Each structure stands twice: as structure tokens, then as C-alpha cells.
Amino acid sequence: MSRKARKLARGVAIVGAGMSKFGAFPDKNSRDLFVEAFIEMTKSVDKGIDIKDIEALYVGNFSSDLFEGQGHVGPIMADWVGLVPRPVTRVEGACASGGISIRDGFIGIVSGLYDIVLVSGVEKMTYLPTERVTDTLAAAADNIYEGCPGFTFPGLYAAMATAYMAKYGATLEDFMRVGIKNHKNGALNPKAQFNKSIKDLMNARIEKTKQKGEPLPAWKDEFDFLKDPQANPTVAWPMKLFDCSPITDGAACLLLVAEDLAKNFTDKPIYIIGSGHGSDHALHEREDMTTIQSARVAAKEAYEMAGVTPQDIQIAEVHDCFTIAELVATEDVGFFKPGGAIKATKEGLTAREGAKPINTSGGLKSKGHPVGASGVGQVLEIWHQMRGTAGPRQVPGKDIRLALSHNVGATGGTCVVHIYERR
């Protein structure tokens, strides 16, 4: 099935961006997180924004219904930031809810219906105990045919990992490298849930053991630490604790405006020049379980719209809900050939200093994964990297003019890809 490439009726720019801190906050619910992100966004608009000028809102949210017993979150978020009676739409695409919110706001502007739109995502996950979070996330899979025999969400990605290991010879160390890299980046991100490298976490554990006067663990490096089942227990083999993104509370939002209005808000807008969105079958129904069709379809649409190639992209935030997911993602968006992400990661190409820096924010792995907010949170990193405001984690030696975000829902039932340009 193919669709002809479209030309946009008009362009769209990001002129403001904000996010709450990502983490576990017993004293904050979804609206508190949303307000935190919104206030940061209003302050980020260089020439200011009159809130009354925002014409519509899109809110990405997977399941406040199950996570905090709150359905219909759209108008609540609109009300808490003073935007009632503007139209608000809650969008749900599991972990890609945020990405779809960007896409829908983008369409709203391209169509000419709106000039100024707030796109956002929010998720409050930590009220529930782990097993209930596991149930809720599993609801994003096919509950009749995947959930029923006992598949969990990490379990489905773990199954994907075994297929990837069988096909390309990946090892547990290859998965660990992704986590080590992303935690190293996250250590430089003050908004990250775990802003510590795995080496930091390992040393903290050694220090604690010392203080207790217990025998010291014999870890020579991060790999030893990650291979120790006491330090890094299995969640769903081969995915261990440090292969999985954490359970997170957080919110993020972007202010999108029609391209011709962008300079009224900032001299440094970031243009969205490509947008793609696709779907896929349940994992068992895929011919090849080591690639995600929705991501390939979304990437193709976005590249064609933008008129650029994977080689042109300088940095990317991809959906690393699990370490295996980052390897698959970087292949699906065309950075590496199938199976090629193993070697690319091993050789440091995807490191912050590498040729193709991936997840300089720390990724979902270290920054945290408030599912409905993650797709928008990714763009915060791109916003900062492209405007040169990423602080200590600013990618060295690159003038970033083209970037990409890749946001997956569940095991790929949904994927949204966006391409960004700084002119």
C-alpha cells in the first residue's frame, strides 16, 4: 500500500517548549505536572506569548483513567492553564500519545484552521504499585491474544530481543551498551529521573556496602555490575532492570505556530519540516519481529515531506523504552542497516561525541518514561540542542540544523516520526 507524497499547505514552527522534571513525585498529580511544563514553556518564548492567543490544545495521555482514576483529562489540563473555553483534544496512542499530539497540532496549523496551538503530553504513573503499572501498560498490547497467555509489556520487547539475538547474533552486552550510553547522557540532564551514569550508581552501591561493613562486590566495570543479578535483576529475560525505562511522572508541552508568525515569537524558531505516522500489527503477526513497520512507514513519510535523507540527520531522540528498542529504532529510521545498530553502538557512533548522537537527553531509559508525555519530552532535547541551550550535554562540534524524533506506541502499533530544521 502506498500513498503519494504531499506538500504542506504551509509550514509550522516550534517557538516555545517546556517540561516538568521527570521522576516519581508523591505530591504531584497530572495537572500539577502539566502546569509545571506549561509555565516553563511560557517563559521559553523569547518575545513572549499572550496565553489568550493560544487557539487550541492537544493533550497526549495514555491512561490517566487507570493510573489515577481520571478520564477526560483534556478540559482539566486546559482549565488548569487558563485556556477554557478553547477546544482541547486528548489523544491516545499508548507511549506515542505525545507524538500524535504534535502531529495533530501540526495538522491543525497546516490546514489553516489554527495559527497558534499548544501540543503536550502528560502521565502520572507512580500512584500505582508495580504490578498494577504492569497491568496498565499491558493494556496497550492486545489483551485478548498477547495479555491472556501472560505477556507483559517488557515481555513483548524481550521476545523481540530474542528474535533479534537469533537473527543478528546480538548479546546481552550489546543491550547493556545502550543503557550505559543513555545513563551517561542522562547524568548531564537535570530534568532526568536518573541523572546518574551506571558507573555512578555502581560506585554508590559499593560505597553503601562499605558503610555497612559488608564484603565488597567484585565489579570491575559497569558490565560486571549489570551482569550481577543482585544489582540488575531480570524483569523479562533478556531484559533486565537496567534495560527497562522506569515508571515516571511527567509532562511536556510545545507551542506551535504558523511559519509566517514564528518570528513574532522568537528569532530562533525550530521548524517541523516532516511528519510521519504509521501503524503495525501485533508482534506475533509480523513477518519479521526485529523491525517495526509503523516506524519505517512514518520515517518514509517524514523524510519525503522534509526532502532529506537519514544521512542528513545530525541528532535524534528515539524511543528507547527498552534497550532493544533503541537498536531497532535506529535501524527503522534508516541510520543503520538491519542488525547494524549493534556494531554502530559498540563503536560509539551513537554516543554524544559520535557521528550520529542518539538520545543525548538520556533517552526514556534514564530521563524517564511518563508514557503520554515522552513523545513531547523528546522534542525538548531537540529544541535545546538546536538552539545551543543544552548546557553540559550540548553535542560538541556540531552546528545542528537537522534533527529527528521517533516515538513508538506499545510494540509499534503506533509510531510517529518528526523532522526538525533550524534555518
Partner 1 sequence: MTEERKITSTSFYQFLAEKKLMASRCKKCQALYLPPHPICIKCHGSDMEWVEMKGNGKLAAFTAISVGPTCTIAEGYNRNNPYLVGIVKMDEGPKICARIHGIDPKNPEKIKVGTPVKVEFMEHKEDARNYLVFQTA
Residues assigned a catalytic role: 95, 369
Q: Which of 420, 57, 374 is nearest to 191 (CA)?
A: 374
Q: Are the beta carbons of 415 and 398 closer than 8 angstroms? A: no
Question: Closest approach of Cβ 107 to partner 1, in Å?
Answer: 26
The yes or no reply on residue 132 touching partner 1 (CB under 8 A) is yes
Question: Closest approach of Cβ 65 to partner 1, in Å?
Answer: 17
Question: Closest approach of Cβ 363 to partner 1, in Å?
Answer: 21
Q: Which of 114, 133, 116 is nearest to 125 (CA)?
A: 133
Distance between CA 413 and CA 285 in Å, rounded?
11
Considering beta carbons, is residue 67 or 151 the nearer one to partner 1? 151
Distance between CA 68 and CA 98 in Å, rounded?
18
* Reduced 3-state DSSP string for 187-207: CCCCCCCCCCCHHHHHHHHHH
Question: Closest approach of Cβ 89 to partner 1, in Å?
Answer: 29
Considering beta carbons, is residue 12 or 324 the nearer one to partner 1? 324
Considering beta carbons, is residue 229 or 391 the nearer one to partner 1? 229
Look up residue 366 and give its three cell numbers: 534514564
- Tell me, residue by residue from 260 to 289, as one string, x for binding to partner 1 by CB under 8 A and - for no binding: ---------------------x-xxx---x
Out of 9, 144, 216, 218, point to the residue binding partner 1 (CB under 8 A): 144
Out of 66, 107, 163, 261, point to the residue binding partner 1 (CB under 8 A): 163
Q: Are the beta carbons of 298 and 419 closer than 8 angstroms? A: no
The yes or no reply on residue 158 touching partner 1 (CB under 8 A) is yes
Distance between CA 309 and CA 326 in Å, rounded?
19
Considering beta carbons, is residue 23 or 238 the nearer one to partner 1? 238
Question: Closest approach of Cβ 231 to partner 1, in Å?
Answer: 14
Q: Which residue has the cell 522568537?
A: 266
The yes or no reply on residue 151 touching partner 1 (CB under 8 A) is yes
Amino acid in position 59: V
The yes or no reply on residue 146 touching partner 1 (CB under 8 A) is yes
Out of 70, 89, 134, 264, point to the residue binding partner 1 (CB under 8 A): 134
Question: Closest approach of Cβ 296 to partner 1, in Å?
Answer: 18
Q: What b/e sequence results for 259-269 when a residue is b if at least 16 CB atoms lie within 10 Å of its CB, and e otherwise?
A: beebeebbebb
Sheet holding 315-317, edge to edge: 88-91, 56-60, 116-123, 250-258, 12-19, 270-279, 414-421, 402-409, 315-317
Which range in 150-158, 270-278, 344-352, 392-400 contacts partner 1 by CB under 8 A? 150-158
The yes or no reply on residue 45 touching partner 1 (CB under 8 A) is no
Question: Closest approach of Cβ 387 to partner 1, in Å?
Answer: 39
Which range in 85-93, 154-162, 209-217, 397-405 contacts partner 1 by CB under 8 A? 154-162
- Tell me, residue by residue from 166 to 195, as one string, x for binding to partner 1 by CB under 8 A and - for no binding: x-----------------------------
Name 105's Cβ contacts closer than 8 Å, sequence gap at least 6. Answer: 56, 58, 114, 117, 118, 119, 254, 256
Q: Are the beta carbons of 101 and 120 closer than 8 angstroms? A: yes
The yes or no reply on residue 327 touching partner 1 (CB under 8 A) is no
Separation of CA 315 from chain center: 14
Separation of CA 70 from chain center: 23
The yes or no reply on residue 218 touching partner 1 (CB under 8 A) is no
Q: Is 97 left (phi over 0), alpha (psi -120 to 50) or beta?
A: alpha
217 prior amide bond cis, ω within 30? no
Amino acid in position 325: A
The yes or no reply on residue 9 touching partner 1 (CB under 8 A) is no
Question: Closest approach of Cβ 372 to partner 1, in Å?
Answer: 20
- Tell me, residue by residue from 225 to 244, as one string, x for binding to partner 1 by CB under 8 A and - for no binding: --------xxxxxxx-----
Distance between CA 97 and CA 117 in Å, rounded?
16
The yes or no reply on residue 147 touching partner 1 (CB under 8 A) is yes
Binding interface with partner 1 (CB under 8 A): 130-132, 134-135, 138, 144-152, 154-156, 158-163, 165-166, 233-239, 281, 283-285, 289
